[in-house]
Amino acid sequence: MKVLILTLAMTAGLLLQAPAQADTLLVERAQSQTAQMPTRGQTMTQVEARFGAPQVKHAAVSGPNNRRANPPITRWDYAGYSVYFEYSHVVDAVATKASPNEIGPKPVQ
């Protein structure tokens, strides 16, 4: 019993001496960046005028058959985030990972 108590006390002491580390969550960083990203409903022209030319403009991708049910989606990549357009209007802006250690979804390959 004394050995168990001694072991627990030593473990607790080691844990108290260990430096605290905190992970940066992608969600937390994305919430802090939302003011610096395009908002839903802006046009491609408005986005480019305010945020400049994107690093990469991906071609529009559309679902099969009915274009009304599967509208073309275009993605523009900026440093730190991507903007998704339906036709020519923003539907979403999504933050990308800042580092491999950041917790969040894996980047699109």
pTM over the 0.75 mark: no
User: What is the DSSP code (8-state) at residue 103?
Assistant: B
For 2, 13, 68, the CA distances from 93, given in Å and listed in that order, are 58, 46, 22
On the question of pLDDT at 5 being above 90, the answer is: no
Average pLDDT, the chain: 78
Read off the pLDDT band of 66 (50, 70, 90): confident
Q: For the stretch 77-107, what's the b/e string if a residue is b when 16 or more beta carbons lie within 10 angstroms of its beta carbon?
A: ebeebbbbbeeeebeebebbbeeeeeebeee
Give residue limits of the domains in the chain.
23-109
Q: List, for residues 8-54, the tens digit of each pLDDT value.
A: 555 555 555 545 555 556 566 656 666 689 999 999 999 999 999 99
DSSP 3-state assignment of 35? helix
